[in-house]
């Protein structure tokens, strides 16, 4: 079998790239290790930059997002017992973010791919990219005990942090940058109206908390928890009590509790693998980089990688130009590192670290106080939060 671009992974990166390429007549096959239901069952973040929304529009998958997504023109920082609003729109010439779950983005992209009759092989085992340093790469995989080979022009490694693409590159060709944070996020989804109409990021001496949402009737909340904590140790009651203790009184009083239907703990890390291109293999999204969720950048960074790679492949197929694919890694990484810095900074400013102590807590409060009272500092946060230019 032959196709133009083999895409490994049917997360948002792989599906979005596939849809954009389909729009210019480039054929793709997606190889996905998990089942469709498994991919759709993963709960991830849900804040889209305007540039991400525009790319989804270009791919023709923004109708439901526009109908059901919630445009937000501000966020609040909670500290010192009260909320301090950052007016994102006023500080960024009217830009905003859209609250729409990644699961829904994935769903819309899968439906679109199905409707176009494009091939996705789910439950593909032992997916392996081959000969990507030559002009004739190919991928192999097993399905129902039968081995398959697909020859192609390019391979896009959209297979996430644990994928095979990055692991297929010789270690000597990769430079890894990594930072682990000594805590996790315990997240809860509940069918209850959100405590506030916008997101609230709280710095508290008991630890960080975040009030987010998926819709006007579904809330997503997080509390910072110790590294190694187990989800079984957190009953719903314990979670709601801890969340409310970390919020200003008025916000805590607005928390509507209910039984959770998803509860999980995620570790926090920053990770970057350089470069993002090896001959005819490209790393895209979580396969190349991970950010802690504090800045809501993971999905948006995946979309910006896709945007650069799509532009490069479009020029290759339309004009036989290699310039765009040659520049992919450098362009993508320039934007990645700015988001890595922003996510690290938000994480550092808002969480309680083992060595934060009373001094560190006062420094954080001073930084937050400066941030919300200085237009220059608020603008720096706002322009990063809504998304830096491409
Ligand atoms: N073979 C085939 N598919 C694989 C393999 C493999 N060896 N390993 C992983 N995959 C699949 C996973 O099952 C998953 O469906 O690749 C997909 C990767 O999807 P994501 O992890 O969602 O990564 P990406 O598409 O880059 O999306 C980035 O997801 O993790 C969040 O914060 C992140 O929001 C960001 C977004
Ligand atoms: C979420 O809604 O899951 C979410 C929102 C904002 C973040 C992280 C996660 O910064």
Task: Report the C-alpha gap between 127 and 336 in whole angstroms.
Answer: 27
- Residue 156 forms part of a structural domain: yes
The residue whose CA is least distant from atom 3 of ligand 2 is: 45
Sheet holding 209-215, edge to edge: 82-86, 75-79, 199-202, 209-215, 218-226, 175-190, 260-274, 289-290
Give strand ranges (E) for 131-217.
138-143, 146-151, 154-157, 175-190, 199-202, 209-215
Which ligand 2 atom is the nearest neighbour of the CA of 44?
A: 3
Q: Is 122 a catalytic residue?
A: no
- Residue 315 forms part of a structural domain: yes
Is 302 touching ligand 1 by the criterion CB < 6 Å?
yes
Assign 44 a pLDDT band (cuts: 50, 70, 90): confident
DSSP state of 150: E
Quote the tokens at residue 335.
């934007």
Which ligand 1 atom is the nearest neighbour of the CA of 42?
A: 22
DSSP state of 2: B
Is 7 touching ligand 1 by the criterion CB < 6 Å?
no
Q: Which of 190, 291, 195 is nearest to 250 (CA)?
A: 195
Assign 74 a pLDDT band (cuts: 50, 70, 90): very high
Average pLDDT estimate for 305-329: 98
* CATH number of the domain encompassing residue 325: 3.50.50.60
Catalytic residue among 100, 141, 181, 201: 201
pTM listed for this prediction: 0.97
How many angstroms is it from 64 CA to the middle of ligand 2? 20
- Residue 190 forms part of a structural domain: no
pLDDT in tens, 174-183: 999 999 999 9
How many angstroms is it from 294 CA to the middle of ligand 2? 7
34 contacts 41 by C-beta, under 8 angstroms? no
Q: Is 385 a catalytic residue?
A: yes
Catalytic residue among 293, 308, 328, 331: 293
pLDDT in tens, 259-298: 999 999 999 999 999 999 999 999 999 999 999 999 999 9
pLDDT confidence of residue 307: 98
Task: Report the C-alpha gap between 43 and 286 in whole angstroms.
Answer: 15
How many angstroms is it from 350 CA to the middle of ligand 2? 14
Please provide the average confidence, as pLDDT, over all residues in the chain. Answer: 97
Assign 42 a pLDDT band (cuts: 50, 70, 90): confident
Counting Cβ atoms within 10 Å, is residue 290 exposed (0-12), middle (13-18) or buried (19+)?
A: buried
Quote the tokens at residue 43.
């709960």
Treating both helix axes as pointing N-terminal to C-terminal, what angle do 12-23 and 298-319 enclose, rounded to 10 degrees? 30
Is 8 touching ligand 1 by the criterion CB < 6 Å?
yes
Which ligand 2 atom is the nearest neighbour of the CA of 295?
A: 10
Counting Cβ atoms within 10 Å, is residue 123 exposed (0-12), middle (13-18) or buried (19+)?
A: middle
pLDDT confidence of residue 157: 98
372 contacts 86 by C-beta, under 8 angstroms? yes
Q: Is 161 a catalytic residue?
A: no
User: What is the best residue among 42, 185, 200, 212 to mutate for testing ligand 2's pocket, by most ligand atoms within 8 Å of CB?
Assistant: 212
Report the number of secondary-structure helices (H) and strands (E) in the chain: 12, 20
How many angstroms is it from 160 CA to the middle of ligand 1? 4
86 pLDDT higher than 90: yes
Assign 45 a pLDDT band (cuts: 50, 70, 90): confident
pLDDT in tens, 289-312: 999 999 999 999 999 999 999 999
Task: Report the C-alpha gap between 172 and 193 in whole angstroms.
Answer: 50
44 contacts 103 by C-beta, under 8 angstroms? yes
Is 9 touching ligand 1 by the criterion CB < 6 Å?
yes
Count up the domains in the chain and report the number. Answer: 1
The residue whose CA is least distant from atom 4 of ligand 2 is: 45
Which ligand 2 atom is the nearest neighbour of the CA of 201?
A: 10
Task: Report the C-alpha gap between 161 and 178 in whole angstroms.
Answer: 13
Q: Is 297 a catalytic residue?
A: yes
367 pLDDT higher than 90: yes
Catalytic residue among 22, 204, 289, 297: 297
- Residue 111 forms part of a structural domain: yes
DSSP string, 240-283: HHHHHHTS-HHHHHHPPP--EEEEEEEEEEEEEEE-SEETTEEE
pLDDT in tens, 155-165: 999 999 999 99
β-strand partners of 283: 157
Range of the domain at 162: 5-76+95-177+269-346
β-strand partners of 275: none
Is 293 touching ligand 2 by the criterion CB < 6 Å?
yes
How many angstroms is it from 298 CA to the middle of ligand 2? 10
- Residue 280 forms part of a structural domain: yes
Task: Report the C-alpha gap between 298 and 48 in whole angstroms.
Answer: 10
- Residue 143 forms part of a structural domain: yes
Which ligand 2 atom is the nearest neighbour of the CA of 99?
A: 2
Is 260 touching ligand 2 by the criterion CB < 6 Å?
no
Task: Report the C-alpha gap between 140 and 90 in whole angstroms.
Answer: 51
Q: Which helix (H) or strand (E) segment is 67 a member of? A: helix 63-68
- Residue 9 forms part of a structural domain: yes
Which ligand 2 atom is the nearest neighbour of the CA of 294?
A: 10
């Amino acid at each position: 079998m032959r196709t133009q671009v083999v895409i490994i992974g049917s997360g948002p990166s792989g599906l979005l790239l596939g849809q954009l390429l389909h729009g210019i007549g480039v054929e793709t096959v997606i190889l996905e290790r998990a089942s469709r239901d498994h991919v759709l069952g993963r709960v991830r973040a849900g804040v889209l930059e305007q540039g991400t929304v525009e790319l989804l529009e270009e791919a023709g998958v923004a109708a439901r997002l526009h109908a059901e997504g919630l445009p937000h023109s501000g966020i609040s920082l909670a500290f010192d017992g009260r909320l301090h609003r950052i007016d994102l729109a006023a500080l960024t010439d009217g830009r905003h973010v859209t609250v729409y779950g990644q699961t829904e983005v994935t769903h819309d992209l899968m439906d679109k791919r199905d409707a176009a009759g494009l091939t996705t092989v789910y439950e593909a085992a032992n997916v392996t990219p081959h000969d990507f340093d030559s002009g004739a790469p190919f991928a192999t995989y097993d399905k129902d005990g039968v081995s398959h080979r697909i020859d192609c022009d390019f391979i896009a490694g959209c297979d996430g942090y644990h994928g095979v693409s990055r692991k297929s590159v010789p270690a000597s060709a990769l430079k890894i940058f990594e930072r682990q944070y000594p805590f996790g996020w315990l997240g809860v989804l509940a069918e209850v109206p959100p405590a506030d109409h916008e997101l609230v990021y709280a710095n508290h001496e008991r630890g960080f908390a975040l009030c987010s949402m998926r819709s006007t009737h579904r809330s997503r909340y997080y509390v910072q928890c110790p590294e190694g904590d187990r989800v079984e140790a957190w009953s719903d009651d314990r979670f709601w009590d801890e969340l409310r203790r970390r919020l200003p009184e008025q916000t805590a009083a607005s928390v509507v509790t209910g039984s959770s239907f998803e509860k999980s703990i995620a570790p926090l890390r920053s990770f970057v693998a350089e470069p993002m291109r090896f001959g005819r293999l490209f790393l895209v999204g979580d396969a190349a980089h991970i950010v802690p969720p504090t800045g809501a950048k993971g999905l948006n960074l995946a979309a910006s990688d896709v945007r650069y790679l799509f532009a490069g492949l479009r020029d290759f197929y339309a004009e036989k130009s290699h310039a765009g694919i040659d520049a992919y890694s450098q362009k993508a990484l320039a934007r990645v590192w700015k988001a890595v810095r922003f996510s690290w900074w938000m994480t550092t400013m808002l969480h309680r670290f083992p060595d934060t102590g009373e001094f560190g807590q006062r420094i954080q409060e001073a930084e937050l106080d400066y941030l919300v009272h200085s237009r220059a500092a608020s603008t720096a946060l706002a322009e990063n939060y809504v998304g830096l230019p491409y």
